[in-house]
């Protein structure tokens, strides 16, 4: 698939279509909400912006590449004056007071926001069923889950309801739904894109990233959103990636984790397809190196220990006082507890209780500090790996998407389904899901700040397998 952004840009400047008609068409599709991908429509804002683009074109003025391009926003980003619900009851009526930096950059470039997209509440989940807006349906088979937590964003892109969408990835939430719906989804290096205005889940691994149908669109959107931000002290400087730089492959050695593939939980077809891909890459003269890594249980428990601790801390502000639907109790303490017990989902409560347990006196040394220590070991392991290989290739998920309703019965199985994505999050590495290789795609990971190598290799894979 070629760049849709460039294609639409061309159609706009040559007056084959108007921006208003384009936006109207997409809004009409989203309004149907056939896949439960929509939490709220930004129709008024979108149509006002579209008119401005049309007026510019009619005046003979030049427009930028992203000007007039319709996009979607996971419902965890602040956009001033719009509902930002995190698909939760507690913030069902919350309206953003300001706009997230990443979204502001897109607005400044002229892109048009259409929709706040359904997701797992506060990013808690891997299926987009943990939401008050109804389980998101998979774009390819509506009986299956869309994946999560950025399920609505992935489905909207896959169905062409948006040209690209902005998801959030803490432990796989962009990459996994991208894989489940056969599109591209990038989790950039931690800090490459500002988190200011993204509702915090686990601050040490939260990342902003794009979902799209082409590598080129991922590149364009990544460039616009990247950069240091005084409002997020963890942001890092990065250089723009140009189209030329990703057209020729320079990757010489590809690594893969033996234990991901030998794992007994992997679907035999995903395993066979992954190994066949490795063979095709080898046949192109690229060296392959099997690597050792931590086992799935260690990765998943380290991630969930830290993610739960951080989310318990981040969500403590939602007590019905400054934010959120308040339910009055007999006294203040009572009000807090009723508000939080009634308004958080079962899954979010499980994580808040688990996180507070992990952080509490008597447990924190044994559990939380151990988690931090393991995370350091995981990062050190990656550093060693990237001395030997240029990229690491892995499946996105051990299995194909489950039926809607099935995963809610077994939270532990759901956590384990994140086995292949969470390690890269703990390492704060850039990782891209490409819709190739296995039924749920492949993940291409590089060392920190090496998004260029990833996009380059993705282009190579597109032509190779
Ligand atoms: N499924 C993982 C979790 O529930 C990842 C979610 C995410 O990246 N937001 O924590």
Structure tokens given for 67: 């000007």
Strand 391-395, strand 442-445: pairing: antiparallel
Report the distance separating Cα 368 and Cα 348, nearest Å.
19
For 213-223, give one letter per residue: b (16+ CB within 10 A) or e. Answer: bbbbbbbbbbb
pLDDT digits (tens, 9 = 90+) for 87-97: 999 999 999 99
Mean pLDDT of 197-216: 98
Model confidence at 465, in pLDDT bands (50, 70, 90)?
Answer: confident
The catalytic site residues sit at 74, 149, 173
Does 348 sit behind a cis peptide bond, omega within 30 degrees of 0 on the bond before it?
Answer: no
Give the pLDDT of residue 416.
87
Where are the domains positioned within the chain?
Answer: 4-245
Q: Is 171 in the pocket of ligand 1 (CB under 6 A)?
A: yes
User: Within 13 Å of residue 220, how many CA atoms lie on the same side as its CB?
Assistant: 23
Does the pLDDT value for residue 324 go beyond 90? no
Cβ of 255 less than 6 Å from ligand 1:
no
Residues forming a β-bridge with 144 = 403
Beta bridge partners of residue 61, listed in sequence order: none
**pLDDT score for 332:** 94
| Model confidence pLDDT, tens digit, residues 132-162 | 999 999 999 999 999 999 999 999 999 999 9
8 A C-beta contact, residue 169 and residue 425: yes
Tell me how far the alpha carbon of residue 408 lies from the centroid of ligand 1, in angstroms.
14
Query: For the residues of 35-74, what is the DSSP string, one character each?
Result: TS-EEEE-HHHHHHHHHHHHHHHHTT----TTTT-EEEEE
Which ranges in 193-293 belong to alpha helices (H)?
Answer: 215-225, 258-262, 268-283
CA angle 190, 165, 122 (to 5 degrees): 60
Residue nearest to atom 5 of ligand 1 (CA): 171
Does ligand 1 have an atom closer than 6 angstroms to the CB of 421?
Answer: no
The model's pTM: 0.98
268, HSE (Cβ side, Cα atoms, 13 Å): 0
Distance 293 CA to ligand 1 centre (A): 21
How far apart are the C-alpha atoms of 296 and 20, rounded to whole Å? 48
| pLDDT digit string, tens, across residues 270-311 | 999 999 999 999 999 999 999 999 999 999 999 999 999 999
Beta bridge partners of 73: 116, 166
Closest CA to 179 of 202, 207, 150, 220: 150
Find the 149 Cα to ligand 1 centroid distance in Å. 6
Residue 1 pLDDT greater than 80, yes or no:
no
User: Max alpha carbon distance in the chain (Å)?
Assistant: 72
Phi, psi of 298, deg, nearest 5: -65, -45
Task: Return the minimum-mean-pLDDT range out of 13-22, 229-238, 321-330.
Answer: 321-330
Structure tokens at 251: 């990757």
Q: Please enumerate in sequence order all residues whose Cβ is within 8 A of that of 239, keeping only pairs 6 or more positions apart, or say none.
A: none
Residue reference for tokens 């009055």:
328
- Mutate which of 88, 117, 125 for ligand 1 pocket (most atoms within 8 A of beta carbon): 125
CA of 203 to the centre of ligand 1 (A): 12
Nearest-angstrom CA–CA distance, 401 and 399 = 7
The residue with greater pLDDT, 31 or 264, is 31
Q: What is the mean pLDDT of residues 370-395?
A: 98
Chain segment 67-83, per-residue pLDDT in tens: 999 999 999 999 999 99
Which of 74, 88, 123 to probe ligand 1 with, by most ligand atoms within 8 A of CB? 123
Supply the DSSP string of 215-229, one letter for each residue: HHHHHHHHHHHBS-B
To 10 degrees, what angle do helices 19-32 and 4-13 make? Answer: 130
Cα-Cα end-to-end distance for the chain? 14
Domain spanning 4-245: CATH superfamily: Amidase signature (AS) domain (3.90.1300.10)
């Amino acid at each position: 698939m070629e760049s849709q952004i460039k294609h639409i840009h061309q159609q706009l400047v040559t007056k084959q279509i108007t921006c208003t008609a384009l936006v109207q068409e997409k809004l009409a599709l989203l309004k149907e909400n056939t896949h439960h991908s929509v939490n709220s429509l930004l129709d008024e804002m979108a149509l006002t912006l579209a008119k401005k683009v049309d007026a510019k074109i009619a005046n003979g003025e030049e427009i930028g590449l992203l000007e007039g391009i319709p996009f979607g926003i996971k419902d965890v980003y602040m956009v001033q004056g719009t509902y930002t619900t995190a698909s939760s009851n507690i913030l069902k009526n919350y309206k953003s007071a300001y706009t997230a930096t990443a979204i502001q950059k897109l607005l400044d470039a002229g892109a048009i926001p259409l929709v706040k997209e359904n997701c797992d509440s506060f990013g808690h989940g891997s299926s987009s069923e943990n939401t008050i807006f109804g389980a998101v349906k998979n774009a390819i088979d509506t009986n299956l889950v869309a994946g999560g937590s950025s399920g609505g964003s992935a489905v909207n892109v896959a169905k062409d309801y948006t040209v690209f969408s902005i998801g959030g990835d803490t432990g796989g939430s962009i990459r996994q739904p991208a894989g489940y719906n056969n599109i591209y989804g990038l989790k950039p290096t931690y800090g490459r894109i500002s988190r200011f205005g993204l509702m915090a889940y686990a601050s040490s691994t939260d990342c902003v990233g794009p979902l799209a149908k082409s590598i080129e669109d991922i590149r364009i959107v990544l460039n616009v959103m990247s950069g240091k931000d005084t409002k997020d002290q963890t942001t890092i400087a990065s250089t723009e990636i140009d189209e030329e730089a990703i057209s020729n492959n320079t990757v010489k050695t590809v690594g893969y984790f033996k234990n991901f593939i030998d794992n007994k939980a992997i679907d035999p077809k995903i395993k066979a397809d992954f190994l066949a891909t490795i063979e095709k890459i080898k046949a192109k003269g690229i060296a392959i190196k099997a690597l050792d890594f931590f086992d799935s249980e260690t990765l998943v428990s380290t991630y969930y220990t830290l993610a739960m601790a951080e989310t318990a801390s981040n969500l403590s502000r939602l007590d019905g006082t400054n934010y959120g639907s308040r339910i009055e109790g007999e006294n203040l303490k009572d009000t807090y507890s009723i508000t939080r017990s009634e308004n958080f989902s079962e899954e979010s409560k499980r994580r808040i209780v688990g996180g507070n347990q992990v952080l509490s006196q008597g447990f924190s040394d044994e559990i939380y500090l151990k988690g931090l220590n393991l995370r350091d070991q995981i990062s050190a392991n990656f550093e060693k790996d990237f001395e030997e290989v240029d990229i690491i290739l892995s499946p996105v998920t051990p299995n194909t998407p489950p039926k809607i309703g099935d995963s809610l019965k077994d939270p532990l199985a759901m956590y384990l389904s994140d086995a292949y994505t969470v390690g890269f999050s703990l390492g704060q590495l850039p990782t891209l899901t490409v819709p190739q290789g296995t039924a749920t795609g492949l993940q291409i990971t590089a060392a920190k700040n090496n998004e260029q190598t990833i996009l380059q290799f993705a282009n190579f894979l597109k032509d190779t397998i």
